[in-house]
């Protein structure tokens, strides 16, 4: 059993692992829910698509530039389109701000080690001691993005460290993810590679300063 989270990202069991901090909640499943998860009937899910999937970066001006010069609207029509664009952008900013507020209120940042197949979470004693190896749980976390991606999945506890040996969190609980479909795997893999690039840049930074 590993007593301390490793430093840096790594390849383990064929899966890239990265380290981060973000809101995580682990909720034990009851007997009926556990049976459904084991049978493949309780599936993972994601919500809150990343900007690349929403098209929020497109403005009226950038869309109009795609038209031939002689077909682009001008005068009052163009000003009206810009006004609508500004109003919609403001509404979207308000929605995203509320979304970020809701995320802050509903979860506590935890130290994590994340891979495609499993997530390892540092928990305080009062939470970690409630979980044991072999138990089914529901994982609910907020993957950092703009806006954040909500990732939820059933999983089985495969390891729990002994208390008092970790620098962050008295217990480190390893959750083997289950019933993750292609959509959730895509969201998770995009986060992993993005975070891995950040870690690489962070490790290279001290050398560049010498």
pLDDT tens-digit readout, 159-210: 998 765 555 557 899 999 999 999 889 989 989 988 888 878 777 765 544 4
Distance from C-alpha of 117 to C-alpha of 12, rounded to nearest angstrom: 10
**CB within 8 Å of 16: residues ≥ 6 apart:** 9, 10, 115, 116, 192, 193, 196
Model confidence over 98-143: pLDDT tens digits?
Answer: 555 555 555 678 899 999 999 999 988 778 778 899 999 999 998 8
Spatial contact of 124 and 145, defined as CB atoms under 8 Å apart: no
* CATH T-level fold of 10-52+109-209: Thrombin, subunit H (2.40.10)
Distance from C-alpha of 86 to C-alpha of 61, rounded to nearest angstrom: 11
**Predicted model pTM:** 0.63
Distance from C-alpha of 210 to C-alpha of 208, rounded to nearest angstrom: 6
Q: How many CA atoms lie within 13 A of 32 on its CB side?
A: 0
């Amino acid at each position: 059993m590993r007593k301390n989270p490793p430093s840096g990202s790594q390849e383990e069991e064929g899966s890239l692992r990265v380290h981060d901090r973000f809101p995580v909640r682990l909720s034990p499943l009851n007997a009926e829910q556990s049976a459904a998860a084991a049978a493949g009937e309780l599936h993972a899910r994601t919500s809150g698509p990343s900007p690349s999937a929403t098209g929020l970066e497109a403005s009226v001006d950038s869309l109009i530039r795609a038209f031939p010069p002689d077909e682009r609207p001008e005068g009052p029509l163009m000003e009206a389109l810009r006004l609508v664009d500004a109003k919609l952008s403001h509404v979207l900013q308000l929605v995203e701000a509320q979304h970020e507020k809701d995320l802050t209120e509903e979860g506590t940042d935890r130290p994590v080690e994340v891979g495609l197949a499993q997530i390892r979470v540092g928990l305080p004693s009062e939470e970690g001691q409630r979980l044991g190896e072999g138990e089914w749980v529901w994982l609910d976390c907020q993957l950092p993005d703009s806006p954040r991606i909500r990732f939820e999945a059933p999983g089985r506890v495969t390891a729990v460290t002994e208390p008092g040996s970790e620098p962050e969190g008295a217990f480190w609980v390893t959750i083997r993810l289950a019933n993750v479909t292609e959509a959730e795997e895509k969201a998770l893999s995009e986060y992993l590679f993005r975070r891995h690039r950040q870690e690489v840049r962070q490790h290279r930074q001290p050398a560049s300063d010498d």
